[in-house]
Amino acid sequence: STLLASSAASDVYKRQHQGMTIRSLREEAGLTKQDVIDASGLSSRIVYRLEEDGYDIRSISAEKLMRLAYILDTDPMCLYEAGLPKK
């Protein structure tokens, strides 16, 4: 049960880190969530969840990940790695 609690805590941290990374990149680019939705082809629900609820970025297609990275002016691996658990 301690291992499960540790895993759950790591998952929460991962989601918070991912959301902060994506939100920070979007704000630095001077974009609204709607701008990202319009340019990326992602649904408003997914864009919101990527930033707020920690939707696993590894669940979106490679094409949309590349588009999102382009819009946010970052390397796709930066976004992908933001969704990986910390070791």
Instruction: Tell me which of 10-19, 35-44, 54-63, 67-76 is least confident.
Output: 10-19
Closest listed residue to residue 80, CA positions, set 16, 59, 70, 71:
59
Supply the pTM of this predicted model: 0.75
Nearest 5°: phi and psi at 61?
-65, 155
Distance CA 34, CA 36 (A): 5
Q: Tens of pLDDT along 64-80?
A: 889 999 999 998 888 88
In the block, residue with structure tokens 């701008």: 35
Q: Tens of pLDDT along 23-49?
A: 999 999 999 999 999 998 899 999 998
Q: What is the pLDDT of residue 71?
A: 93
C-alpha dist (Å) from residue 9 to 5, 24, 81, 82: 6, 22, 18, 16
pLDDT band for position 12 (cuts 50, 70, 90): low
